[in-house]
Amino acid sequence: MAYYIRDHFPPGPVLGPRRPSINEFFLSSYTMSIYAGCEFGCPYCDGWVYHTRPLNEMVRVPLDIPHRLAEELTTVSRGDLVGITALSDPYQPIEQTYRITRQILQLFADAGQPCLVLTKGTGVLEDLPLLQRINERSLAIVMMTILTLTPPIAERLEGKSPSPASRLETLATLKRAGIPVGVALIPVLPYVNDTNNVLSGLLQACYDIGVDFVVWDFLDIPDRGHFNRISEMLARIGSYPPDYYRDLYGTQTLPNATYRTRCNTDLVYRCDLVTLAARIPHKVYAGKLLPPNEAALLLKHYAFYDMAQGRKHMAKLHRELADLVYQGRATPDQLAVSPLWPMLKGILGW
Ligand code: SF4
């Protein structure tokens, strides 16, 4: 069990500045974390890199965060989605005691502020009435991180978190209650959860319970200390060739482009086979966000498919247009070169 420290949120805004580029995984214009530290303590988490104490040893409880956020929300557009997605889990065990996440959702419900919650905590179900209220007024999405359904591997990757099976059950319940739900296969860990067995089992399970989408991203290894932590984790999981990650990563923080492209293409194909969306589908957020946000997300999601299916020039164009439209700098002439123009025109009311 971690030490809990009652504390204040650090000076400065809770939400931080509005993102210069909309987040295509979470639809977010703002990102926030609630607790500092995470008792789940997954060894692959890059939260380890940004904490002076071990991530799972001490959790700070920002008692003043609801009050400060209430003030900030008066200046935030109701068409900008807030992602509770950063560096600590909002439904880790401490939430049972302090209910800070619940207070935040209460604020969002009162304001009609769209939000997305990323968690491994099945306690999110206890806030279902609040999520439904937000969803009635704007949009509330819940994503569960699930890396594998194989119990011995899950035990070594995330043994302190609720089991993957219980997370899937939680998603199924939320979905039945009308909340859009998705699975975050984040991170893809080379050799561990990028195998045929893991991926086919996980995607089929997602389809079976009716999740709306799956997203994935790659393991980030920002420094030497994290590389060593990952190596220890791999040694606990199996006998991996010691140079495998070195070959894939070289001196970079992400696996090389060849691996990422192959993996993206493979996962898009696998999602297509089981009719799962590989990003949050447009129908989930259509009409719920600022029109430039909606248009930018469509463009970014198409750019992702363009890239995975080999249309590099179109992917580059769509990414550039996404940022221009999100920042309010796109002209009709610029957008008209995209095959999405008829849809974009309608969304933007041009
Ligand atoms: S639950 Fe999420 S935030 Fe917490 S340690 Fe695991 S990966 Fe990091």
Structure confidence by residue, pLDDT tens digits, 54-84: 889 999 999 999 999 999 999 999 999 999 9
Dist. CA 110 → ligand 1 center (Å): 28
How far, in Å, is the centroid of ligand 1 from the Cα of 328? 35
* Domain boundary residue, one of 240, 265, 289: 289
Strands in the chain per DSSP E? 3-7, 28-32, 58-62, 81-84, 115-119, 140-145, 181-188, 213-218
* Residue 86 scores a pLDDT above 90: no
What is the share, in percent, of the chain residues with pLDDT greater than 70? 100
pLDDT surpassing 80 at residue 240? no
Q: Which of 249, 273, 289 is the last residue of a domain?
A: 289
What is the 346 CA–ligand 1 centroid distance (Å)? 39
Which pair of tokens denotes residue 319? 């990414």
Residue ending a domain, choose from 271, 289, 307: 289
Asked if residue 298 and residue 310 are part of one domain, the reply reads yes
- Ligand 1, atom 8, lies closest to the CA of 45
Total number of domains in the chain: 2
Q: What is the pLDDT of residues 260-277, one digit of tens each?
A: 999 999 999 999 999 999
Do residues 40 and 50 both lie within one domain? Answer: yes
Nearby residues of 246 by Cβ (< 8 Å), 6 or more positions away: none
Q: How confident is the model at residue 244 (pLDDT cuts 50, 70, 90)?
A: confident
pLDDT score at 243: 75
Q: Which domain holds residue 84?
A: 3-289
Give residue ranges with CB within 6 A of ligand 1.
38, 40-42, 45, 47, 55, 87-89, 120, 161
Pair 278, 325 in one domain: no
Asked if residue 189 and residue 65 are part of one domain, the reply reads yes
Same domain, residue pair 270 and 306: no
Same domain, 111 and 188: yes
- Do 237 and 134 lie in one domain? The reply is yes
d(CA 225, CA 245): 14
The residue whose CB lies within 8 Å of the most ligand 1 atoms, and thus the one to mutate among 38, 144, 189, 230, is 38
Three-state secondary structure string covering 116-144: EEEECCHHHHHHHHHHHHHHHHCCEEEEE
DSSP 19: P
Please give the average per-residue pLDDT across 218-236, as a whole number: 92
Banded pLDDT at 52 (limits 50, 70, 90) = confident
pTM of the model: 0.97
Q: What is the mean pLDDT of residues 136-144?
A: 98
